[in-house]
Chain A
């Protein structure tokens, strides 16, 4: 929605980055280029020839391929099967296809093993499969939507090596991101989009992240750093020896959480780092009461809540910014004011006794929309019609409106524009000053390091390492996240120095994790 006057020219054999806040219209533009949406006016030309795409098939036929932010792979099929799926006519489904995959993989250094099941692959490998899928279909121009969102720093470097390889072979890459540091390191050209229109281009060689950021938002960029400590010694949430098992599709029972043990005090932000899928979601669900613990005790503000139902826990002061807001935080086809009630239907101002108080709930929705700057024409539109960032602001506003004792913030600024991000960070900091305990889970390492008072690393359902956010670097944290390091992470002296300079210099180029279309 709301794209106008977009002018962009991408030269062959380059990596062209498209940056902009979330909701700026990057994804819409990409959808238009990939034939998923039709422009109301304007033209697209490929190799000087004007084209019109009515579906992705047309785009693929023109050599344009897209790697989506959320992988579109079938877990139980092999890499080969995933690649040929839907393109069986190209090279068959047997040895010819396998040979072709090998050929592409070798040509661009992708290191693909065609006969492995996708479920056994890590995130970075899956991404390479997605890239290969696109190349297999003959794409000469690749669109990558937020490709680094799910990767740890080391994997990002590997991805960039792949991109340079592709470029060297004469392919064109359009790279969507709002992680400015990454953009500057890999792109040859940069186009900035703001409020649905192109506002300028930048030359990566002569642009600083700060300049780029200002171009992007039209103002200065915030940083997630927390200066003064507000940690008290009053425990708010105590998690003791928590163990949770789940039965996987093969019927094998395995522990998804094991020996989880931590305490969050009033006024403390505990950050959990980890590659997604290592038990973070399960931990959140366990604390919310959506999963029953096998063993272990949860104590909130001195009270044992291990057996308390979810609703009571939420009434007792657990606020949640869920990881997947569409699944757990919103009713997409319901109006905003009903979404304001969601999760707090038993609390004021939403209800009196057994009855809803529509007037008060609507009035309070208006207040949240105003105070949290939710950009919407009104409170009767459906949640689905808002951009991701505005949906998130509504959720944050809702959760904060009930004065939580504990806030579970899972990727609180994912898919949120820079302005809103600063606001959400401010909200967390302010509430923390007033004694809020926060469990912060984020894939954005700078956010984690910047906001947290204490850091833990989660790996395969266990808390394997802890770190001091004042001294740790994203790289160190990244290697602990892949299981390469454990225990207390000490940083060698010279690295610590770099951290300090980068902190005082530009706290602005935080790679942010994103995805406005979630």
Chain B
């Protein structure tokens, strides 16, 4: 059995590696087509991306991406496509920021309160899609993408002076009221800048994700629904309830996505709060095969590519080339997984067959000799 397990790991690694290699090859072709020398570009990205200050940047970015990847992966495990992580985390971060700015409690109370607020808002926003799906049969893909647009509108409406908005002293920028210093999240200082303390929360979220899915009854039910709705129903899972519950959890994790930025960096929600991370999360969840460690690697790779892209621009390359790499990686990953999955399944069937045939031959021989 050990042997098959080792193979499974190999097969598991084969797909993302294959995808990344192919993505770089395709990108090289694109670079050549634009008349640029490709390997120099990769060299620049790698050199710059592995510098000490880049490492800090990458870790901090990856923290955010990791949480987004987890939120999406939770949906994937249920066979739900939560495109709405984007709207969920922005709305959550916005209300959490507003709450954090309004209160002046000791950090030990206020920080958990802010995080809790974000999780609840994210969960509620995702829950709408869950309820719509089970009561009206609305596809979560459609409803969550609509909810993203609505979230944008709500934030735009509330982020104005006189509502939840707050004009800074220079009078040029509207944001939520800044969160008091006592409620800033801790950091790990390094020589080249602080590593956000929220990385600890992200790691804990990863552990919780792994434990819940693989070690609890609830996680088993959730995965069962994801693998076969009909089998889950026959096995006694209330599929509708499970859809709503998992959307709520996915939304709650999505609520965490904005927290590293809010509590470790910006301390307020303004027009330049990062957007689009929910979609990045989809790519990262795909890249990481919904596995907590895979997602972490995916998040780091993503942050690394982004870091490198800034430097490419200085060297006369188009920074969009990184967008091409990222896009091609995702495309390759989806294809490579399917190819590897089918290959693995076939291979296993052949192995089982071969093994049984061998057993049968052995037992026949024994019968003869006996």
- Contact, CB under 8 Å: B230 / A381: no
The interface bits of chain A over 340-373 (1 if a CB of B lies within 8 angstroms of the residue's CB, else 0) are 0111111000010011101000000000000000
- Contact, CB under 8 Å: A313 / B216: no
Which B residues touch A380, using CB under 8 A? 1, 4-5
Closest chain A residue, CB of each to CB of B241: A309
| Shortest CB distance B217–A (Å) | 5
User: Which of A127-135, A200-208, A320-328 participates in binding chain B?
Assistant: A320-328
- Contact, CB under 8 Å: B345 / A327: no
Choose among B216, B231, B353 the residue that contacts A355 (Cβ–Cβ < 8 A): B216
- Contact, CB under 8 Å: A356 / B217: yes
Which B residues touch A377, using CB under 8 A? 1, 4, 351-352, 355-356
Q: Is the CB of B335 closer than 8 A to any CB of chain A?
A: no
The interface bits of chain A over 250-266 (1 if a CB of B lies within 8 angstroms of the residue's CB, else 0) are 00000000000000000
Choose among A1, A311, A342 the residue that contacts B231 (Cβ–Cβ < 8 A): A342
Which B residues touch A354, using CB under 8 A? 216-218
Choose among B219, B234, B348, B359 the residue that contacts A385 (Cβ–Cβ < 8 A): B348
Residue among A4, A309, A343 with most chain B CB within 10 A? A343
Per the bound structure, the CA–CA distance linking A351 and B228 in Å amounts to: 21
Choose among B223, B227, B234 the residue that contacts A320 (Cβ–Cβ < 8 A): B234
| Shortest CB distance B91–A (Å) | 31
| Shortest CB distance B293–A (Å) | 19
Which B residues touch A332, using CB under 8 A? 227-228
| Shortest CB distance A465–B (Å) | 29
| Shortest CB distance B155–A (Å) | 37
Which A residues touch B216, using CB under 8 A? 354-356
Per the CB 8 Å criterion, the residue count for chain B at the interface is 36
Q: Is the CB of B357 closer than 8 A to any CB of chain A?
A: yes
Q: Is the CB of B233 closer than 8 A to any CB of chain A?
A: yes
| Shortest CB distance B296–A (Å) | 23
| Shortest CB distance A321–B (Å) | 11
Per the bound structure, the CA–CA distance linking A516 and B5 in Å amounts to: 27
Per the bound structure, the CA–CA distance linking A351 and B359 in Å amounts to: 33
| Shortest CB distance A193–B (Å) | 13
Per the CB 8 Å criterion, the residue count for chain A at the interface is 48
Per the bound structure, the CA–CA distance linking A467 and B359 in Å amounts to: 45
Q: Is the CB of B136 closer than 8 A to any CB of chain A?
A: no
Per the bound structure, the CA–CA distance linking A409 and B204 in Å amounts to: 45
Q: Is the CB of B152 closer than 8 A to any CB of chain A?
A: no
Within residues 324 to 364 of chain B, which ones have a CB less than 8 A from any CB in chain A?
345, 348-357, 359-360
Per the bound structure, the CA–CA distance linking A289 and B236 in Å amounts to: 9
Q: Is the CB of A288 closer than 8 A to any CB of chain B?
A: yes
Known: A327-B231, A328-B230. A355 touches B215 (CB 8 A): yes
Q: Is the CB of B220 closer than 8 A to any CB of chain A?
A: yes
Per the bound structure, the CA–CA distance linking A489 and B60 in Å amounts to: 78
- Contact, CB under 8 Å: A381 / B4: yes
- Contact, CB under 8 Å: A375 / B228: no
Which A residues touch B223, using CB under 8 A? 334
A-B contact pairs, 10 of them (CB 8 A): A1-B354, A2-B356, A310-B236, A327-B234, A341-B220, A345-B220, A355-B216, A356-B217, A382-B345, A385-B349
Chain B residues near A (Cβ < 8 Å):
1, 4-5, 214-221, 223-224, 227-228, 230-231, 233-238, 345, 348-357, 359-360
> 3 tightest CB-CB pairs across the interface, nearest first?
A1-B353, A311-B236, A343-B235
Chain A residues near B (Cβ < 8 Å):
1-2, 4, 195-196, 288-290, 309-315, 320, 322, 327-334, 338, 341-346, 351, 354-356, 358, 375-382, 384-386
